[in-house]
Amino acid sequence: MPIYEYLCRRCNTIFQFLVRNPSSKTAPVCPECGKCDRMEKVMSTFSVKSGSSSMEDMADDSSMAGLDTEDPKAMASAIRRMADEMGEDLGPEVNEAISRLEAGEDPEKIERDLEESGFDMGEGGGEPSHAPGLYEA
């Protein structure tokens, strides 16, 4: 049974959950505030998809060599590649934003559109805390 990490945007806390049914699309309920409408799956700092030994190995990958960090198209492609390698679903809003960046749209306009649609950009909340223990989903 896999262990997944979920961030509660209300509490700004990351919780680890033992997930008995990983095919379920439903996010678990936050153990702190009792809500599930602001829980989102986050990339664990210690887990990567089989075949990659660590996050550092992925960052040192030759496909990242020479990446132009000032080019939104290149950055969007790199983010998509890393998420695919790690088996992470970025969610529909982020996938759409990445597609728009890859198509050459203005990054600032994409960010404004996301904010206007109510997408939480995660700014201003500070670094989330990590809850001790393991919870059952």
What is the per-residue DSSP string for 84-133? Answer: HHHT----HHHHHHHHHHHTT--HHHHHHHHHHTT-----SS-SPEEEEE
Q: Is the pLDDT of residue 57 over 70?
A: no
Same domain, 31 and 85: no
Same domain, 63 and 103: yes
Same domain, 68 and 104: yes
Taking residues 105-127, report their average pLDDT. 75
Q: What pLDDT does residue 45 have?
A: 56
Q: Is 46 inside a domain boundary?
A: no
Report yes or no: 101 and 76 within 8 Å, Cβ to Cβ: yes
Taking residues 47-54, report their average pLDDT. 45
Q: Is 130 inside a domain boundary?
A: yes
Taking residues 131-135, report their average pLDDT. 86
Q: Is 43 inside a domain boundary?
A: no
Using alpha carbons only, give the angle 23, 8, 42 rounded to the nearest 5 degrees: 50
Interval 11-31: pLDDT, tens: 888 899 888 776 666 778 899
Same domain, 114 and 128: no
Q: Is the pLDDT of residue 55 over 50?
A: no
Q: What are phi and psi of 135, to 5 degrees?
A: -110, 160
Gap between the Cα atoms of 11 and 13, Å rounded? 5
Interval 86-112: pLDDT, tens: 777 777 888 888 999 999 999 889 888
Q: What pLDDT does residue 60 have?
A: 52
Q: Is the pLDDT of residue 10 over 80?
A: yes
Q: Which residues of 121-136 are buried (b: 16+ CB within 10 A; e: fewer)?
A: eeeeeeebeebeeebe
Q: Among residues 82, 62, 80, 60, which one has the least CA distance to residue 72?
A: 80
Same domain, 129 and 112: no
Same domain, 115 and 55: yes
Q: Is 44 inside a domain boundary?
A: no
- Mean pLDDT for all residues in the chain: 76
Domain carrying residue 24 = 1-38+124-137
Question: In which element (H, E) is residue 136 found?
Answer: strand 129-136
Q: What pLDDT does residue 52 have?
A: 45
User: How many domains does one find in the chain?
Assistant: 2
Q: What is the pTM of this model?
A: 0.47
Same domain, 114 and 56: yes
Same domain, 68 and 110: yes
Same domain, 63 and 92: yes
Same domain, 68 and 107: yes
Q: What pLDDT does residue 85 have?
A: 79
Gap between the Cα atoms of 99 and 109, Å rounded? 13
